[in-house]
């Protein structure tokens, strides 16, 4: 990737004299900042803009590290082939006319792929805006030459954007709107060869890059992406386009249907500590905040103090903090005493620290003093500071900056007030490295992203691979198709997952005997090959209370199945909670484990979480903690709490199963009943390819 990020020589194929052409702008942009050799290529010119121009890349006498191509799409494959022959390290193809434009374009893109695979040349794009390095002032892009005057600032946020022309333009243009300093902006277009992982890997080692924001419409290699995220402590923010597009497919199992709508992606990102953004500017706001505060406080807590000049704004902040899972700091006696010296005597000190009456009584300087006090307080991890456009505030910045640096507190500002004053405040705040926002919710949301403990760089202790003999046993059970409940649970049992006690009965007498052995009540089920929804087919009989009844139900089920299936007798569990656990193969992430609420709640409240297998025990515990309905797990209404370790172990085993058996397409344990805290698989369907 060095040829893209640190080339010594650049050829511009399609360089043009016509200022309205992209090929002209690329040359201008490269010339303006790049310090190495520049070779324009255009068979119709001998010279452009004072540089010798070549008819073909083959004619360039020196070695070319990087070629930037901006010729019509149909000419691109030939040009790229020449580059490969000439030994060019990498090519940024900014031309459009590939997979985004129908059959012909798709074929052309396939051709590029073959060239890359065959020759080893690295291809970036096509259909992209290339690469901007704001520190080196490399603009390997056809963007307007005015981006610097427009406001592009060198900074510590790097951006990676998939998608074509306009979507990439967003981010270039976001940069021009101010406030966010950019390290590198990489528009990777159709990703014929270089993908987000290649670029991300480079950026992780880039000293100028403190935070990486990615806008992606697809992830080329989910597992490599996760591994990269896992091994860095740099904050990564992802805005994923096209989430709703995947939910449409018909899904056979709950697990598969819950996996739509970006569930696996969200789970994978959470698993490796990536922040998920949901809108364009919001992504930029998260990036610039996390560049300033790349690590959550050491305390591991989220105790926020709110410093405000308005009771109402303080309450609104407290509401948002609560909504976003932040904690209002409980101010210590010392802190209260210090603050109370600023307050009028009648007013009790509280958090939000409302300073209006104090300023009214003792002048605006109390606002500065209160900030110092809460920053110094050990019980405060972060300060949400309301800038009200007080004229005096502009003079306090140097001291504020010092306080933030010396106390290590996370300080984020909300900016509201007269335009004329605010512009100055905003500028000074940025100089002092205090992220400020115009919307209160956004300020609080960015603070929440900083305070969130992102579990990155975890040592992975995936030390429970399936043992050899278990694997052998499994192979004998894995015949292609939709396996029936009993067979499915045999697989689960072989993988050390607790399953309910059950046995196939061959006759009414045997059913009665088994039921008596298990103890009443029992459940009896008719298993017909290929029938997933037994309940809908009337093949489930609950609460069978006697041996005679068991015998009767055997006859009844046999008749209902017309002799085609078998009858299963099962111990009936008394359960305090119903869960679903499953495994799917995600096209981007591979085997992924699902955990959700069961029963009616599964379908109505969609409370489910995903994680990509294999899982460590600790990861599985964190996955459980991501479920919304934590109350239900913690011994709700006097029920026993769920044994989280046992549940985590089931998730680990399910993930291991998925990794060990590639033919295992899907597992759906529904329900996983929790009885006296212990989770047990009661019904299950395994689908084998």
What are the structure tokens assigned to 13, written together? 């194929």
- Site for a copy of itself, residues 537 to 596, rule: CB under 8 A: none
Pick from 45, 51, 75, 167 the residue near a copy of itself by CB under 8 A. Answer: 167
Pick from 74, 113, 177, 537 the residue near a copy of itself by CB under 8 A. Answer: 177
Which C-beta is closer to a copy of itself: that of 245 or that of 398? 245
Which C-beta is closer to a copy of itself: that of 548 or that of 605? 605
Evaluated on CA atoms 318, 324, 330, 335, the torsion sign reads: negative
Q: How far is the CB of 215 from a copy of itself (least distance, A)?
A: 7
Q: Considering the rule CB under 8 A, would residue 173 count as an interface residue with a copy of itself? A: yes
Q: Considering the rule CB under 8 A, would residue 346 count as an interface residue with a copy of itself? A: yes
How far apart are alpha carbons 176 and 166 in whole angstroms? 15
- Give the number of other Cβ atoms within 10 Å of residue 296's Cβ: 19
- Give the number of other Cβ atoms within 10 Å of residue 372's Cβ: 16
| Longest alpha-carbon distance in the chain | 101
- Site for a copy of itself, residues 481 to 510, rule: CB under 8 A: none
Q: How far is the CB of 102 from a copy of itself (least distance, A)?
A: 3
- Site for a copy of itself, residues 321 to 340, rule: CB under 8 A: 322
Written in H, E and C, the secondary structure of 62-86 is CCCCEEEECCCHHHHHHHHHHHHHH
Q: Considering the rule CB under 8 A, would residue 362 count as an interface residue with a copy of itself? A: no
Contacts of residue 489, defined as CB under 8 A and 6 or more positions apart, other chains included, come to 499, 500, 502, 681, 684
Which C-beta is closer to a copy of itself: that of 158 or that of 163? 163
Q: Considering the rule CB under 8 A, would residue 273 count as an interface residue with a copy of itself? A: no
Q: Considering the rule CB under 8 A, would residue 635 count as an interface residue with a copy of itself? A: no
Q: Considering the rule CB under 8 A, would residue 248 count as an interface residue with a copy of itself? A: no
Q: How far is the CB of 108 from a copy of itself (least distance, A)?
A: 13
Quick one: DSSP state of residue 398? H
Q: Considering the rule CB under 8 A, would residue 215 count as an interface residue with a copy of itself? A: yes
Which C-beta is closer to a copy of itself: that of 73 or that of 526? 73
Phi, psi of 626 (to 5 degrees): -80, -15
Pick from 148, 281, 397, 520 the residue near a copy of itself by CB under 8 A. Answer: 281
Q: Considering the rule CB under 8 A, would residue 40 count as an interface residue with a copy of itself? A: no
Are the C-beta atoms of residues 571 and 501 closer than 8 Å to each other?
yes
Q: Considering the rule CB under 8 A, would residue 148 count as an interface residue with a copy of itself? A: no
Q: Which of 667, 675, 477, 484 is nearest to 568 (CA)?
A: 484
Q: Considering the rule CB under 8 A, would residue 356 count as an interface residue with a copy of itself? A: yes
Q: Considering the rule CB under 8 A, would residue 416 count as an interface residue with a copy of itself? A: yes
Evaluated on CA atoms 333, 334, 337, 343, the torsion sign reads: negative
Pick from 91, 116, 237, 440 the residue near a copy of itself by CB under 8 A. Answer: 440
Query: Which residue stretch of 87-95, 278-286, 474-482, 617-625 sits at the interface with a copy of itself (rule: CB under 8 A)?
Result: 278-286
- Site for a copy of itself, residues 368 to 407, rule: CB under 8 A: 388-389
Q: Is 451 exposed, middle or buried (0-12, 13-18, 19+ CB in 10 A)?
A: buried
* CA–CA distances in Å: residue 575 to residues 37, 446, 571, 598, 603: 73, 41, 12, 12, 19
Q: Considering the rule CB under 8 A, would residue 169 count as an interface residue with a copy of itself? A: yes
Q: Considering the rule CB under 8 A, would residue 632 count as an interface residue with a copy of itself? A: yes
- Give the number of other Cβ atoms within 10 Å of residue 330's Cβ: 10
């Amino acid at each position: 990737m060095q040829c893209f990020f640190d080339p010594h020589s650049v050829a511009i194929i399609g360089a043009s004299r016509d200022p309205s052409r992209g090929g002209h702008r690329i040359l201008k942009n490269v010339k303006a900042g790049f310090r190495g050799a520049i070779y324009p290529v255009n068979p119709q010119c001998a010279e452009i803009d004072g540089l010798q121009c070549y008819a073909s890349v083959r004619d360039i006498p020196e070695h070319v590290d990087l070629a930037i191509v901006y010729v019509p799409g149909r000419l691109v494959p030939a040009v790229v082939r020449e580059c490969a022959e000439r030994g060019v390290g990498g090519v940024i193809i900014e031309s459009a006319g590939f997979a985004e434009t129908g059959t012909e374009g798709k074929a052309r893109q396939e051709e590029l792929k073959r060239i890359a695979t065959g020759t080893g040349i690295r291809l970036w794009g096509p259909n992209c805006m290339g690469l901007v390095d704001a520190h080196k002032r490399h603009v390997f892009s056809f963007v307007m030459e005015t981006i610097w005057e427009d406001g592009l600032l060198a900074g510590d946020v790097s951006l990676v954007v998939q998608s074509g022309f306009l979507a990439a333009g967003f981010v270039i243009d976001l940069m021009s709107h101010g406030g966010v300093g950019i390290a590198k902006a990489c528009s990777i277009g159709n990703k014929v060869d270089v993908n987000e992982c290649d670029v991300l890997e480079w950026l992780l080692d880039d000293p100028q890059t403190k935070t990486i924001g990615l806008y992606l419409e697809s992830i080329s290699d989910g597992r490599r992406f996760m591994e990269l995220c896992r091994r860095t402590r740099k904050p990564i923010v992802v805005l994923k386009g096209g989430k709703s597009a995947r939910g449409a497919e018909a899904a056979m199992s709950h697990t598969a249907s819950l996996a739509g709508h970006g569930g696996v992606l969200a789970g994978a990102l959470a698993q490796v500590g990536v922040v998920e953004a949901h809108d364009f500017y919001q992504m930029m706001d998260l990036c610039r905040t996390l560049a300033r505060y790349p690590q959550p406080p050491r305390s591991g807590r989220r105790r926020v103090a709110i410093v405000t000049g308005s009771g109402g704004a303080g309450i609104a902040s407290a509401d948002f903090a609560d909504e976003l899972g932040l904690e209002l700091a409980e101010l210590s006696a010392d802190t209260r005493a210090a603050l109370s010296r600023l307050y009028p005597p009648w007013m009790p000190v509280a958090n939000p620290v409302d300073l209006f009456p104090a300023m009214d009584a003792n002048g605006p300087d109390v606002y500065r003093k209160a900030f110092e006090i809460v920053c110094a307080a050990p019980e405060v991890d972060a300060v949400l500071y309301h800038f009200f456009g007080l004229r005096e505030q502009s003079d306090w910045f140097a001291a504020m900056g010092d306080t933030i640096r010396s106390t290590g507190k996370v300080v984020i500002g909300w900016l509201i007030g007269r335009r004329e004053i605010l512009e100055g405040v905003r500028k000074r705040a940025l100089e002092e490295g205090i992220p400020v926002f115009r919307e209160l919710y956004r300020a609080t949301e960015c603070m929440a992203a900083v305070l969130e403990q992102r579990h990155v760089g975890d040592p992975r202790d995936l030390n429970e691979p399936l043992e050899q003999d278990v694997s052998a046993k499994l192979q004998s059970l894995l015949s292609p198709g939709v396996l029936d409940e009993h067979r499915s649970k045999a697989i689960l049992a072989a993988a050390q997952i607790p399953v309910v006690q059950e046995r196939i009965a061959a006759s009414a007498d045997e059913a009665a005997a088994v039921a008596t052995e298990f103890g009443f009540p029992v459940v009896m089920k008719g298993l017909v090959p290929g029938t997933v929804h037994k309940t809908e087919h009337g093949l489930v009989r609950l609460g069978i209370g006697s041996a005679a009844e068991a015998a009767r139900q055997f006859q009844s089920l046999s008749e209902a199945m017309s002799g085609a299936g078998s009858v299963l007798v099962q111990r009936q569990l008394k359960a305090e909670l119903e869960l679903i656990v499953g495994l799917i193969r995600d096209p981007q992430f591979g085997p992924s484990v699902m955990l959700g609420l069961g029963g009616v709640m599964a379908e109505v409240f969609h409370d489910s979480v995903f994680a990509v297998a294999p899982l460590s025990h600790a990861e599985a515990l964190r996955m459980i903690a991501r479920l919304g309905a934590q109350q239900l797990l913690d011994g709700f209404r006097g029920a026993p709490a769920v044994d989280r370790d046992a549940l985590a172990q089931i998730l680990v085993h399910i993930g291991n199963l998925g990794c060990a058996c590639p033919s295992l397409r899907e597992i759906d344990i529904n329900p996983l009943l929790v009885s006296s805290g212990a989770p047990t698989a009661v019904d299950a369907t395994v689908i084998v390819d």
